Amino acid sequence: MRIVIAGGHGQIALRLERLLAARGDEAVGVIRDPQQSEDLRAAGAEAVVLDLESASVADVAEVLRGADAAVFAAGAGPNSGSARKDTVDRGAAVLFADAAEQAGVRRYVVVSSMGADPAHTGDEVFDIYQRAKGEADAYVRSRGGLDWTVLRPGMLTNEAGTGQVLLAASTGRGPVPRDDVAAVLLELLDTPATAGLTLELISGSKPVAVAVKDIAGN
């Protein structure tokens, strides 16, 4: 498969790229900073330098053309202000979805946030982030040309993955290693029957493949 990942230098994206490359798939990471290209190559991925805050739909569609799936894993980052929550966490996700439709890439997986909600209230930066992610998710889920899956992990950690997760429409709060988030993303890409699902993810007791198989088609 050829998988194009927005936010290709993110911690989850780099893990996913390694997993894809290890089994012979073609991972393409979209990044803004050309200095990050070497890290992507080290992960076994192709780097495409494109700023999703200024690119056009046509620009992004050209990168996506011929891909088997698109993964939106970009984010403004914890130190960014409220303006970039809108331009990246909402705007870039909408742009990437529009571009996927234009390029004819139906499979579209979003790395979202637990608690994302377009109706989330409050004026703190985290509140704005949760609204932006919620608005992006709602937009993606409204697109008839996409076979979308929205994944909402709990509190992300850098602990080694266990390969044991809880994946459900609602899981309650909890931590999850980024290793396991990447493993779940890979399994979702391999499981078309998870299209149309919005799923929460935390550490649990089911092997990743079993957890995805059990939720598929529900």
- The structure tokens listed for 177 are 């290693």
The model carries a pTM of 0.94
Contact 73, 5 (CB under 8 A): yes
- The structure tokens listed for 169 are 């429409």
Confidence (pLDDT) at 122: 86
Parallel/antiparallel/unpaired status of strands 107-111 and 155-157: unpaired
Confidence (pLDDT) at 120: 86
CB environment 204-216: b (16+ within 10 A), e (fewer): bebebeebbeebb
What amino acid positions are annotated as catalytic residues?
Answer: 129
Dihedral sign, CA of 196, 19, 132, 166?
positive
Q: CA angle at residue 13 from 31 to 63, to 5 degrees?
A: 45
Which residues, at least 6 apart from 78, have a Cβ–Cβ distance to it below 8 Å? Answer: none
Q: Which residues of the chain have pLDDT under 50?
A: none
Confidence (pLDDT) at 127: 86
Confidence (pLDDT) at 218: 77
Predicted confidence (pLDDT) per residue in 136-190, tens digit:
999 999 999 999 999 999 999 999 999 999 999 999 999 999 999 999 999 999 9
- The structure tokens listed for 204 are 């649990």
